[in-house]
A and B are shown apart, each in its own frame.
Chain A
Amino acid sequence: MEPDATENIQLFEKQKRIYPKRVSGRYRNIKWVAMIICLAIYYLVPFIRWDRGPTAPDQAVLIDLERGRAYWFWIEIWPQEVYILAGILILAAIGLFFLTSLLGRVWCGYLCFQTVWTDLFIWVERIVQGDRNKRKKLREGPWTREKFIKLTITHIIWLGIAWCTAGSFILYFNDAPTIVQDFLNFNVSPTVLGFVVGLTFMTYLMAGFAREQVCTYMCPYARFQSAMFDKDTLIIGYDEKRGEPRGKHKKGADWSNLGDCINCYACVNVCPTGIDIRDGLQMECIACGLCADACDDIMDKVDLPRGLVRYDTERRLEEKNKGLPVSKLRILRPRTIYYTVVITIVGFIMLYALINRPLLELNVLHDRNPLFVQLSGGNIRNGYDIKILNKTHNNHSYRLDVEGLEGAQISMVGAGNLDAQEISVAADSVGQNKVFIQAPVSKQEPIVITFIIKDIHSGLSAKYKTMFISRKPHG
């Protein structure tokens, strides 16, 4: 390139390969623990059993797409209760905002699946190929037998992990032991296999290759997090006042005219997103704290206090920089308080919805064609499809009544001898019936009527308002 190439505008950026160096320390330990907990939850939860009686599956966490049910321990959701899912998503989003305003991007650094799996893949890479320098040398060097073998082993292990990840995902949608057994017998349905192969490929691609690019280029959260940041949000900060001017330091030499930063690049070498934290807060920073660990390690070696790179707030760093008195950490701020309030409100609404979840529901659909039928005796008849949702785990019988229509007579058609006084609906299912209502009414505007079903034994009831039509809309 020409000498002035650095001044050129880069319109096209090639991926810079990052070889994060091994690091140990406080935050790395937290990260290991978080990773083990996250992976354990992900891989083991489908195997937890939860007894729901003979008519429902005994898997604690299960989304049964085929039967349209979602189970989460004692909570059971039908498709029409999808608002609960919406509530969970809202809670998760606000929870994330709350966590961000309180502790910065700890989700990104410790808990996000992209981070967890990338960390796992880098760990595999390091075990097989060695630490940063060895990996870099191996990758950039010529193709040798050693390189071929080591890369092959790495990719095989990656694919293995990816396969387990994908397989585990499927377990949340099927009975886990059955699917595992099916896999062991090489007897898996093409649909399941298709999902597993697709997800394996995506995991392999995202954690093996895309890595920090997912956070930098793909993740929307990285982009809008600035809206949740303020000067009191915890970030990873470099203590410029203490560190600068940076420079090499020989053991026993004088520290005058030099800051504490010895420009060793330890913080840069361990960074999984390949940035230099000393340049200040950057969008790429996922706040994992590994640079703080690396720097602390170096500070220990040169006998200086830890914390040159540390978790701190922008306000405190700035105050320190300007030589002002450093204020305290402010955890309780309007921002954190109103996120807490919103979480509490949404949480209570959801709790209310869950506690008051109806175990019996009724849906009525008026016939569209014909809207009404003139009977020979002078009565007008309307047809309805009724759906009775029996969400209990027992068979029940219901009595159907109609309110708001003088002289109404109910009849039903269907297989067998059906009786509106006793409509039976099997446990955990929807009973569908065709119902006719006839009444001696003159042709008039639609009459509002109410269908009422009542459980004969428990007295549980449900209502549905609908219309009784006796003439054409334009008649």
Chain B
Amino acid sequence: MSEDNINKDMDKVSGVETTGHEWDGLKELNNPLPRWWVWVFLVSCIWGVWYMIAYPAWPVAGGATKGTSGYTQFKELTQSQSEIIARQAVYLESFEGTDFNTIMNDSALYAFAYAGGKAAFKDNCATCHGSGAEGSKGYPNLNDDDWLWGGTVGDIYTTLQHGIRVEGNYDTRLSQMPAFGKDEILNREEINQTIDYVLALHNASATENMAGHTIFQNNCASCHGANGKGLREFGAPNLADAIWLYGGNRADIYESIFNARSGMMPAWKNRLDENTIRQLSVYVHELGGGEASVADANAKAVRPLLEE
């Protein structure tokens, strides 16, 4: 042992000096730090100093030190946003102004429209129509083939642009069902007879002998059609199909006839840009219920499988 160790407190068992700290007779050994640990520590210190110089670190009056690298999170955000926009630009260039027919037959444009529409749908439409576009009472299910205002891409595009029953929009989808009960056009008994008739239409068992037949022809047929199959010009739903937007039990139908229904949808023309609306049109059309427009030469027919 060299001279300078004479006064040090040595541990008898391990032969290592102690730090002199003692707790109830327990002494702490003064073993050296592992070398690798010391190196990692030193490198971390150097890195830490460099970081404080290069990046915003110290709070000062009116903000923080700027750092030599000029980094800010906002810059990073702007940069990654512009990267995304640049990536989209390639597709947008050919997407913009291209007619739906071309888009529907081009796999790259189709994928671009579908993906963009899917994202925009979740942001803007899912609130009412649900994340899977499955709808709920009063909010149409967009997956089915029952369209109030038309189910071609063009129809959907128009509905998206101008909305439904938007006040002050001249191109909006507009119609108003009379509140037959509230406005005392029909009495309780007549409404009940109408319900009987509507349910019969739904079950394809309606006859001209039914009491509701005359009431329906006089009051409802002008919009819903003589056979109850609806009229898209007025957004009048098909009452003879299997789908009920506001429910198909007697109470629901009574409520519909008594107070009338008039759902609304905002016009998206000035909220979303043209390309997003077009992407949404393609997406909604492709949810499964989209109708082929007359101009669409490549009509997608439902192909019966077991016919062969």
Contacts and interface: CB of A to CB of B under 8 A. Distances in A.
A184 interface: no
Interface stretch (B10-18, B174-182, B217-225, B269-277): B10-18
A415 B131 CA distance: 23
A410 B305 contact: yes
Nearest to B237: A376
Contacts of A410: 303, 305
Contacts of B238: 376
B1 interface: yes
A11 interface: yes
A2 B132 contact: no
A5 B298 CA distance: 93
Nearest to B146: A376
A418 B286 CA distance: 13
Given A11-B14, A409-B302, A419-B303, A373 B1 contact: no
B130 interface: yes
A402 B110 contact: no
Contacts of B288: 373, 381, 383, 413, 436
Nearest to A412: B300
Contacts of B303: 409-411, 419-421
A417 B300 contact: yes
B279 interface: no
Contact of A411 (B111, B143, B302): B302
A373 B144 CA distance: 6
Contacts of B150: none
A17 interface: no
A413 B298 contact: no
Q: Do most interface residues of chain A lie in helix, strand or loop, or is the interface mixed?
A: loop
B233 interface: no
A438 interface: yes
B13 A401 contact: no
Contacts of B16: 11-12
Contacts of A436: 288
Nearest to B229: A376
B106 interface: yes
A377 B241 contact: yes
A438 B141 contact: no
- Kindly name the residue among B15, B110, B111 whose own CB sees the greatest number of chain A CB atoms within 10 A: B15
B62 interface: no
A373 B1 CA distance: 88
Interface string A170-195: 00000000000000000000000000
A458 interface: no
A343 B112 CA distance: 51
A323 interface: no
A402 B105 contact: no
Interface of A: 1-2, 4-5, 8-12, 367-370, 373-378, 381, 383, 401-402, 407-421, 434, 436, 438
In the A-B complex, the 6 residue pairs with the smallest Cβ-Cβ separation, listed nearest first, are A369-B132, A415-B110, A376-B241, A370-B134, A8-B15, A415-B107
23 contacts: A1-B15, A2-B1, A4-B15, A5-B15, A9-B14, A369-B131, A370-B132, A373-B134, A373-B141, A374-B242, A375-B144, A375-B243, A376-B145, A381-B144, A407-B306, A408-B305, A411-B303, A415-B106, A415-B111, A416-B107, A416-B110, A416-B298, A420-B305
